[in-house]
Amino acid sequence: MNITIKTVPPQDMRPEVDGADWYLDLDGNLQVRVCPMSDPRMEMALALHEAFEAVLCLHAGITVDEVDKFDQAYDLAHPDDNDIEAGDDPACPYQVEHSLATAVERIYTAHTNLNWFEYDSELKKVYPGPSHKE
């Protein structure tokens, strides 16, 4: 499997997602997409999270479709939440994988002196959830 990571504008994301995404292409290769952010370290932190989460999900037999369905349903059930993290919900089918990916993300931000609160604040603006996608 090849892994391709790209930073793309929101309009180039799959319609049902925004901010960050992972999926398998027709050749079975992992595609990771993140949106542009104010600091390249932020984009890398998000990309590392998505790639690590994807690899763990695939290893556990959790499909892209399962992740997408849960994320979309969670987003619609929490329309006014400004801090949506479907992966943190105990009912999430990839909760463990998401938590481990967040640990990797936090290790990277700490090592590169990226302020987690500034990063998280920007993420909330860039990734409001699919139901808020413009």
Give the pLDDT confidence of 73-131 residue by residue, as tens digits.
Answer: 888 887 766 556 888 899 999 999 999 999 999 999 999 999 999 998 898 777 766 55
Give the pLDDT confidence of 53-66 residue by residue, as tens digits.
Answer: 999 999 999 999 99
Crossing angle of the two packed helices 95-111 and 116-126, in degrees rounded to 10: 130
Q: What is the 3-state secondary structure (H, E, C) of 18-82?
A: CCEEEEECCCCCEEEEECCCCCHHHHHHHHHHHHHHHHHHHHHCCCHHHHHHHHHHHHHHCCCCC
pTM greater than the 0.85 cutoff: yes
pLDDT score of 132 more than 70: no
Give the pLDDT confidence of 3-30 residue by residue, as tens digits.
Answer: 999 999 888 888 777 678 999 999 999 9
